[in-house]
Amino acid sequence: MLTAVLSAILVGLLITFLNLKRVIRSHKLVPQYKGVFPSVTVIRPVKGLDVGAAENFRAALSTGYPGEVETIFVFDGTDDPAYEVAAQVAKECGGRVQLIVSGPPPVGRTGKLHAMIAGEKAATGELIAFSDSDTRPDQKVLRVLVETLLTTPGAGSVFVPVICDQPMKKVGDVFYAFLQNALYAPWALLAAGSSRTLPFIMGQYMVFTRACLAKIGGVQCATGQLVDDMYIGSVVYKAGFLNVIAPYSLSIFSSGLSLREFIPLYRKWFLFGRNGLPLSFVWRQWLFGACFYAGLIGLLIALSTDHFVAAALALAILVVFCVGLAHIHRTFGGAAVPFRYWWAPSAMMLIALAILISNRLLRNVTWRGRVYKVDSRAALDVDTQPQGSSTQV
The CATH number of residue 161's host domain is 3.90.550.10
Identify the pLDDT of residue 359: 79
Q: Which residues of 20-54 are buried (b: 16+ CB within 10 A; e: fewer)?
A: bbebbeebeeeeeeeeebeebbbbbbbbebbebbe
Residue 97 and residue 226 in one domain: yes
Domain termination site, one of 228, 257, 286: 257
Residue 141 and residue 235 in one domain: yes
Q: How far apart are CA 44 and CA 131, in angstroms?
A: 5
Identify the pLDDT of residue 385: 44
Please check whether residue 302 lies inside any domain of the structure: yes
Please check whether residue 118 lies inside any domain of the structure: yes
Residue 223 and residue 346 in one domain: no
Residue 57 and residue 174 in one domain: yes
Statement: the pTM of the whole predicted model exceeds 0.95: no
Domain termination site, one of 206, 225, 257: 257
Residue 239 and residue 339 in one domain: no
Please check whether residue 270 lies inside any domain of the structure: no
Which parts of the chain register pLDDT below 70?
Answer: 31, 273-276, 376, 378, 381-393
Provide the pairing of β-strand 197-198 with 242-245. Answer: antiparallel
Domain termination site, one of 257, 288, 319: 257
Residue 138 and residue 252 in one domain: yes
Look at the chain and report how many structural domains it folds into: 2
- Helix, strand, coil shares of the chain, percent, nearest 5, are 50, 15, 35
Residue numbers of the domain that contains 230: 31-257
Please check whether residue 267 lies inside any domain of the structure: no
Q: How far apart are CA 35 and CA 126, in angstroms?
A: 15
Identify the pLDDT of residue 275: 65
